[in-house]
Amino acid sequence: MSYVAISKVRFPPSFKEQIQNVGLEMIPIAKRQPGFVSVAFHLSTDSSETMMYWEWESKSDHEACMESAAWANIMGKSSSLFQSQGVEFSIQTYERIS
């Protein structure tokens, strides 16, 4: 079965465009990684949170992406954004069972 990571970012309205742009930059990086299956990017109906559903063939594929140079680059560019006042990042991981 596959491995799923769900990442969420809560943010004040003034960060909406920046948060969305970073998420959109992450997608092509992940798509180039071995074991990538799919991604879906969502914005909450009140526009205060994004949610990304990442699916991988295995946990090790997900971890390899998170440790890749390309991922480190995007995270380095966006670290100050994710550490801004009012911005909260979380990630939960799951093994798909059906």
Q: Does the model's pTM come out above 0.85?
A: yes
Domain chopping of the chain, boundaries: 3-95
Encode pLDDT of 56-72 as tens digits.
Answer: 999 999 999 999 999 99
Q: Does domain 3-95 have CATH number 3.30.70.100?
A: yes
> Which pLDDT score, from 0 to 100, does residue 77 have?
94
Encode pLDDT of 1-59 as tens digits.
Answer: 899 999 999 999 999 999 999 999 999 999 999 999 999 999 999 999 999 999 999 99
Distances (CA, A) of 46 to 8, 19, 23, 31, 78: 14, 15, 18, 28, 23
Strand partners for 39:
54
Distance CA 79, CA 45 (A): 25
> Residue range 78-88: average pLDDT?
96
> Which pLDDT score, from 0 to 100, does residue 48 have?
97
